[in-house]
A and B are shown apart, each in its own frame.
Chain A
Amino acid sequence: MQKSLVSITDYSKDEILRLLQHAEKFEQNPNQPLLEGKVVATLFFEPSTRTRLSFETAVNRLGGRIIGFSDASTSSSSKGETLKDTIKMVSNYADLIVMRHPLEGAARYASEVASVPVINAGDGANQHPTQTLLDLYSIQKTQGHLDHLNIFMVGDLKYGRTVHSLLMAMGHFNPRFHFISPDELKMPNEYKQFCDDRGIAYTEYNELNDNINTADILYMTRVQRERFTDLMEYEKVKNVYSLKNKMLDNTRPNLRVLHPLPRVTEIDEDVDTNEKAYYFQQALNGVFVRQAVITYVLGLIS
Chain B
Amino acid sequence: MESKEVKMVAALRNGTVIDHIPSDKLFKVVSILHLDELPNQITIGNNLSSSKLGSKGIIKVSDKFFTDQDINKIALIAPDAKLNIIRDFEVQEKKNLRIPDSFEDIVRCGNPNCVTNHQPIVTRFYVTNHQPLTIRCHYCERMMIADEIKIK
Contacts and interface: CB of A to CB of B under 8 A. Distances in A.
Given A105-B141, A108-B138, A108-B139, A82 B120 contact: yes
B23 interface: no
A123 B139 CA distance: 10
A126 B114 CA distance: 9
Nearest to A110: B115
A124 interface: yes
Interface residues of B, number: 17
Contacts of B141: 7, 104-105, 126-127
Contact of A105 (B120, B137, B143): B137
A103 B118 contact: yes
Interface in B15-51: none
A297 interface: no
A190 interface: yes
Interface in B79-135: 109, 111, 113-116, 118-121
A104 B138 contact: no
Interface string A238-276: 000000000000000000000000000000000000000
A104 B115 contact: yes
Contacts of B116: 105, 109
Contacts of A102: 113
Contact of A125 (B113, B119, B139): B113
A84 interface: yes
Interface string A100-137: 01111110110000000000000111110000000000
Contacts of B143: 190
B142 interface: yes
A83 B119 contact: yes
B140 interface: yes
Contacts of A109: 115-116, 119, 121, 139
Interface string A64-101: 00000000000000000011100000000000000001
Interface string A193-225: 000000000000000000000000000000000
Nearest to B128: A190
Nearest to A188: B143
B115 A106 contact: yes
A126 B113 CA distance: 10
B132 to A, nearest CB: 12
A33 B125 CA distance: 42
A124 B119 contact: no
Interface of B: 109, 111, 113-116, 118-121, 137-143
14 contacts: A7-B141, A101-B115, A103-B114, A104-B111, A104-B140, A104-B141, A105-B114, A105-B138, A105-B141, A106-B139, A108-B138, A109-B115, A109-B139, A125-B113
Interface of A: 7, 82-84, 101-106, 108-109, 123-127, 190
Given A7-B141, A104-B115, A105-B115, 16 more contacts: A82-B119, A83-B119, A84-B119, A102-B113, A103-B113, A103-B118, A103-B119, A104-B111, A104-B142, A106-B115, A108-B115, A108-B138, A109-B115, A123-B140, A126-B140, A127-B141
